[in-house]
Amino acid sequence: MIIPAINFHLLKACNARCHFCFATFRDVEGQISADDALRLLDALRAAGAEKLNFAGGEPTLHRHLGRLVAHAKSVGLVTSVVTNGFRLDPLLDAHAADLDWVGLSVDSADARVEVALGRGDQDYVRRSLVLADRCRSLGVRVKLNTVVTALNCEEDMSAFVRRFQPERWKVFQVLPIAGQNDGKVEPLLIDAAAFRAFLERHAPLAAEGLAPIAEANDDMRGSYVMVDPLGRFFGNATGRHIYSAPILEVGVEAALAQVGVSTAKFEARGGRYAW
C-alpha cells in the first residue's frame, strides 16, 4: 500500500532563487503533459493516496495548476499547494473551493534574511501574513514551512508565528542533496545542536498550539513519497535523488519500489495527521 501523502513536484521553474533548495531538478529536462498529470493523479488515488501536495519549483508557475488541483479534489484527494506566495492570489480567486491546504514558505521574520537566502524581496514577510489571512477567510487551511539555516538559526520567530497562526508549523534542518544544491548550500548548513537550539527557543509556543514540528536531516531522508516533473517517483535516502521509471509506464507499485521509501520513517516524522 502506498504512503498516503504524496508530494508532486510539477515543474523545476521557480521565481525565487533559494540557495538551499533541494529540488532544483537541474538533472531533469522537461515535464509531463497536463493530460498525463491528470492520469497520474488518478493512478495515485487508485493506489491509495489520500493527500496530494503540489510543489515545485514553484507550482503556481504551472499553467494548468488550477485544473490539476480541481481534478485532485474531484477524485477524493486532500489538496495542498506549497508556495512562496508570489502568484497565489489568482489560484485562490479561481480555485479556493478546491484547495484544502496552502503551505507558505517563510524562513525568517526579517525580510532582509529572506532576501539574503534568495527566497523573496523586502515585502516577503508582510505579504505572507496577508496571504495567510486571505486563505483562512476563504476556508483554506494554512501551514507554515521554515527551513533553518546558518542565517536564521539564532532567530526567535515566536512573535511572527503567533501572528501567522498556522495549523501546522513545519521546521526543517537545511538539507544538502548532491546534484541539487551542492555548491550553494554549504555556507548555510547547521549542525544538530544549532537545529535543536532553534526548536528549544520556540518550544513555549506549544502552550498555544503552535509548536514547531521538527524534521532533522535524517527524518527527511527516505521518508517522503515524491514525484518529479517527468512523472517519476524519486527518493533521497542516499543523499542524492534516485529516480524510478515513469509511473504511467510501469505502475505505481513497481515505480515506488525502485526508489525506497520507509513507511516507518514517514510515520515517525508525523507524516500522518488530521488532514
Which residues have a catalytic role annotated?
14, 18, 21
Lookup result for grid cell 503552535: 210
Rounded Cα distance between 72 and 67, Å, is 9
In a 13 Å sphere around the CA of 235, the CA atoms on its Cβ side amount to 17
Residue 145 main-chain phi, psi, to 5 deg: -115, 130
Sheet holding 232-235, edge to edge: 212-215, 168-173, 141-148, 101-105, 78-83, 51-55, 5-9, 225-227, 232-235, 242-246
